Amino acid sequence: MLEKWFHLTERSSDAPTEVLAGVTTFLTMLYIVVVNPAILGAAGMNFDGVFMATVISSVLATLIMGIFANYPIVIAPGMGMNAYFAYSVVLGGGHSWQAALGAVFISGICFVLLSLTRFRYMLIDAIPASLKHAITAGIGLFISFIGLQNAKIIVASPATLVTLGRLSEPMPMIAVLGLAVSLILMIYRVKGFLFFGILATAILAYCQGLLVLPENWLVLPSGLASTAWQMDVSGVWNQGLYAVVFTFLLVTLFDTTGTMLGVAEQAGLLNEGKFPRVRGALMADALGTAAGAALGTSPTSAYIESAAGVAAGGRTGLSAVTTAVLLLSTLFFSPVAKMLAGVPAVTAPAIILVGFFMMDGLKNIEWKDTEEAFPAFLILVTMPLTYSIATGIGVGFIAYPLLKLVRGCGREVSPMLYFFALLFFIQIGFFSH
């Protein structure tokens, strides 16, 4: 049965190898079931509800990916988009989390429709590679900044806006020590180093009296009613969250596509540079995003941590199915997740390191080419300093075609990018809060 469905022999694999690869991926990305509810909880959402939404949407999308697309790729709420949801749209923009979920749902439906057409390629191709790399790196800086703030390593200053916190205090001291432990585990290539780094930091927090052990370690899943079907779609129109919808859609689309191509290439599954069954793979993420919004979480995305499973031998969807089953089992451990997320210093090292990983694409930007480099630079600095991914994208999208026009290279820019630049100019210039 497994051979017939997943084509194990055809891909030079076997069931034990695929199961081991699935376990490896699970350990590598397990941190998200702790970190995602912690981040969205800052927006006023119920932790237990977001925890269940995170697990269920991840399991659903990953099962679709594994069973129907037959790829060893895991899907879960994306880091960066969750921070944008909580800190930019809700806390920074003053919008309700219900309206933010409505924006996620609409972007998910748009993603589903795009996955059925070739327009998805037009949208991806319209964005220059330098801007794509800068957006990913800018999101990395943004979430690292949030991690540093949550741990009080960086604090507010009336004179300089931000400054270094008192590292001798328990919260920042534990975060710094936890970051050091996580880095050591990463250097020695320990599988699941982010999750084990969280556990090590939690032990430090417990020794300092900051962490309170739960009364029950295992409980029946509950709390989903507080977030499920709470999305306010009409609020998207009433509150003018058009740029938010576009940002969710754009980042999820090219981030997912890039991750899938990278993992598939590593697994040797590309056919002459092309991605077979790409429609099913993208549909898995699109449905995950829409379902996640209905349940109560931010957009899902393909996880680069899937590469760890591929490195362990994963070549088929059986690896993804194994990860999904293990993720489902975490539903009974919500008190543990809540305990770990209850102290910001515990999750901060993982958030900071994920931001660091997102810097990799900067090496691909032609920094000596001003028309390519300066818009990328604007995206990098604007995202964390304005606390808005959408603003960072908008500034870059406006600057890029303008510089190309001044240089006399306007024809090199896609008409679609000019259209996006105009929309962002109107949004930032006249409707920005």
- Summarised one tens digit per residue, pLDDT across range 78-90 is 888 898 999 989 9
Within-domain flag for 152: no
Same domain for 100 and 231?
A: yes
Residues 6+ apart with CB under 8 A from 60: 287, 288, 291
Same domain for 329 and 417?
A: no
Contact 274, 288 (CB under 8 A): no
Same domain for 55 and 7?
A: yes
Same domain for 242 and 380?
A: no
Integer Rg of the chain from CA: 21
Nearest C-alpha neighbor of 138 from the set 397, 391, 382, 394: 382
pTM (2 d.p.): 0.85
Within-domain flag for 175: no
Single-letter code of the amino acid located at 306: S
Same domain for 256 and 405?
A: no
How many domains does the chain divide into?
A: 2
* Residue-range definition of the domain harbouring residue 402: 366-433
Same domain for 136 and 283?
A: yes
Mean pLDDT over residues 329-353, rounded?
89
Within-domain flag for 88: yes
Helices of type H across 2-118: 2-6, 15-29, 32-41, 47-64, 81-83, 97-115
Same domain for 59 and 127?
A: yes
How would residue 432 be classed by pLDDT, with cut points 50, 70 and 90? low
322-336 tens-digit pLDDT: 999 999 999 998 998
Burial of 117 (0-12, 13-18, 19+ CB in 10 A): exposed
Same domain for 266 and 383?
A: no
Same domain for 83 and 224?
A: yes
Range of lowest pLDDT (43-52, 187-196, 231-240, 252-261) = 252-261
Within-domain flag for 396: yes
Within-domain flag for 159: no
Within-domain flag for 255: yes
Same domain for 298 and 245?
A: yes
Within-domain flag for 191: no
Return the pLDDT at 351.
86
d(CA 419, CA 408): 19
Single-letter code of the amino acid located at 102: G
Is it the case that residue 433 has pLDDT exceeding 60? no
Same domain for 255 and 394?
A: no
Mean pLDDT over residues 116-125, rounded?
76
CA distances (Å), 280 to each of 62, 176, 260, 265, in order?
12, 42, 12, 17
